[in-house]
Amino acid sequence: MRYCIRCILPDTRPGLTIDDEGVCSACRGHEDKEFHIDWPARKRAFEALVADAKDRSSGYDCIVPVSGGKDSWYQIIKAQEYGLNVLAVTWRTPARTEIGQQNLDNMISRLGVDHIDYTINPDVERRFMKTAFEKVGATGLPMHMALFVIPIRFALKLRIPLIIWGENAQLEYGGGKDERLATDLDREWLAKHGCLQSTNAADWVGEEDLTEADLAAYSLGDTGEAAAEFKLESVFLGSFFKWNSFENARIASEHGFESNAGHLKTGTWEFADIDCRFISLHHFLKWYKFGITRSFDNLSVQIRMGMTTREEAIEIIRQKGWEAPHDDIKAFCAFQGLPEEWFWQVCESFRNPAIWHRESDIWKIRGFLIEDWAWLNSQPTCASPS
Ligand SMILES: [Zn+2]
């Protein structure tokens, strides 16, 4: 396991590479953002997309996929700044938080947009999450599938020519040079980077008795041709305007967005990961698979922005520990009607043998970022696998 010499990300993080100088692709992405990308040219490209969308509009000019979080506020505000008539589309999580609902309601009314809150049968969500967790260790797989597929299908059905997504994750969190400079969220991107583990809805038919009909909301089906014929534009806003999570939160707050101050559960950002109770589980599994917590991601961004030093970040990680979201784990097990032992046993099955080893019954990561890490405090609390 190798760590970037500038931030604290290891090369176990999917898509992240560390070059000969010891610098990771996310830090190189930051250099792209600061020095190499021609932002005025990108802005002009965005203006051309806007003009084309208005030209081809059949009422709504664009879809903005939203959760109610800070980034969704920023996406809508930016689209409206360019005079676009927005249809906001949400995949409704089965575990929406109170603050998430409040932010979403305020966003729709204060920014004044039409909105679809798309709810999938909770029992289908439950079964899909169960099998995705057990089979590939990804509670967030159904979520990612739904939130990418639903806006694309609405765009094609309602003939809305443009979808404006948020950040370009390859630029923010490490991808190859071409991927960092890309602007489009297309099928190729979805298959490779959509957190879908290279699967689609059809692969899950039969698991937990899921039928093709159950999984309709997660399926792009044969819409590829329709998208090409209609020339659907599907782009990352973060590829046209320099993405800054803190700035997005500030802009959103000015319009009425509220962060979850004082209730930080995972990571170091009070304005992030607050819409859904189960998102913390998606981040938590990274501990088993890649040896990182949510704070590794958040703090690495802060380091790149000059807000935190690498030494300070390491100290914060040391103090926060492994960030097991115990309350959310309880809630997830209650949703599944299964005991917590089940959760921990599944986690255990995804412990990556390439980085973990067991020493006198204690799990440890070889060459971990923090030498004197309190390993005893980051063991499953609820029954080790028997
Ligand atoms: Zn780095």
Question: Do 235 and 277 share a structural domain?
Answer: no
pLDDT category, 96, cuts 50, 70, 90?
very high
Question: Do 196 and 55 share a structural domain?
Answer: yes
- Range from 92-101, 318-327, 359-368, 374-383 carrying the lowest mean pLDDT: 374-383
Q: Establish if 233 belongs to a structural domain.
A: yes
CA of 367 to the centre of ligand 1 (A): 17
| Distance of alpha carbon 109 from alpha carbon 81, whole angstroms | 17
Question: Do 189 and 42 share a structural domain?
Answer: yes
- The whole-number pLDDT of residue 192 equals 77
Q: Establish if 15 belongs to a structural domain.
A: no
Q: Is the pLDDT of residue 384 over 50?
A: no
Last residue of a domain, one of 184, 217, 239: 239
Give mean pLDDT, residues 6-32. Answer: 96
Q: Establish if 21 belongs to a structural domain.
A: no
- The whole-number pLDDT of residue 381 equals 67
CA of 265 to the centre of ligand 1 (A): 24
- The whole-number pLDDT of residue 229 equals 86
CA of 3 to the centre of ligand 1 (A): 8
- The whole-number pLDDT of residue 297 equals 95
CA of 236 to the centre of ligand 1 (A): 22
Q: Establish if 24 belongs to a structural domain.
A: no
Q: What is the pLDDT of residues 215-243, one digit of tens each?
A: 999 998 877 788 888 899 999 999 999 99
Tokens of 215: 């999984």
Question: Do 329 and 228 share a structural domain?
Answer: no
Q: Establish if 255 belongs to a structural domain.
A: no
Last residue of a domain, one of 182, 216, 239: 239
Q: What is the pLDDT of residues 64-77, one digit of tens each?
A: 999 999 999 999 99
Q: What's the maximum distance between 2 C-alpha atoms anywhere in the chain?
A: 67
Q: Establish if 22 belongs to a structural domain.
A: no
Q: Establish if 253 belongs to a structural domain.
A: no
CA of 173 to the centre of ligand 1 (A): 9
CA of 6 to the centre of ligand 1 (A): 5
CA of 283 to the centre of ligand 1 (A): 19
Domain at 203, CATH number: 3.40.50
Question: Do 277 and 233 share a structural domain?
Answer: no
CA of 33 to the centre of ligand 1 (A): 14
CA of 257 to the centre of ligand 1 (A): 30
CA of 64 to the centre of ligand 1 (A): 30
Question: Do 185 and 106 share a structural domain?
Answer: yes
CA of 269 to the centre of ligand 1 (A): 19
Question: Do 341 and 204 share a structural domain?
Answer: no
Question: Do 221 and 279 share a structural domain?
Answer: no
Radius of gyration of the chain (CA): 21
**Which domain covers residue 349, as residue numbers?**
272-378
| Distance of alpha carbon 86 from alpha carbon 333, whole angstroms | 37
Give mean pLDDT, residues 148-166. Answer: 95
Number of structural domains the chain divides into: 2
Question: Do 345 and 203 share a structural domain?
Answer: no
Question: Do 197 and 343 share a structural domain?
Answer: no
pLDDT category, 91, cuts 50, 70, 90?
very high
CA of 31 to the centre of ligand 1 (A): 11
Q: Establish if 65 belongs to a structural domain.
A: yes
Residue 163: what are its φ and ψ, rounded to 5°? -120, 130
CA of 178 to the centre of ligand 1 (A): 18
CA of 19 to the centre of ligand 1 (A): 10
pLDDT category, 386, cuts 50, 70, 90?
very low
Question: Do 309 and 209 share a structural domain?
Answer: no
- The whole-number pLDDT of residue 383 equals 46
Give mean pLDDT, residues 239-251. Answer: 96
CA of 16 to the centre of ligand 1 (A): 9
Question: Do 293 and 190 share a structural domain?
Answer: no
Average pLDDT of every residue of the chain:
93
Q: What is the pLDDT of residues 296-317, one digit of tens each?
A: 999 999 999 999 999 999 999 9
Tokens of 117: 């809150």
Last residue of a domain, one of 220, 239, 258: 239
CA of 350 to the centre of ligand 1 (A): 25
CA of 241 to the centre of ligand 1 (A): 21
Q: Is the pLDDT of residue 54 over 50?
A: yes
Which of 225, 215, 66, 236 is closest to 151 using CA atoms? 66
| Distance of alpha carbon 217 from alpha carbon 91, whole angstroms | 10
Q: What is the pLDDT of residues 346-372, one digit of tens each?
A: 999 999 999 999 998 899 999 999 999
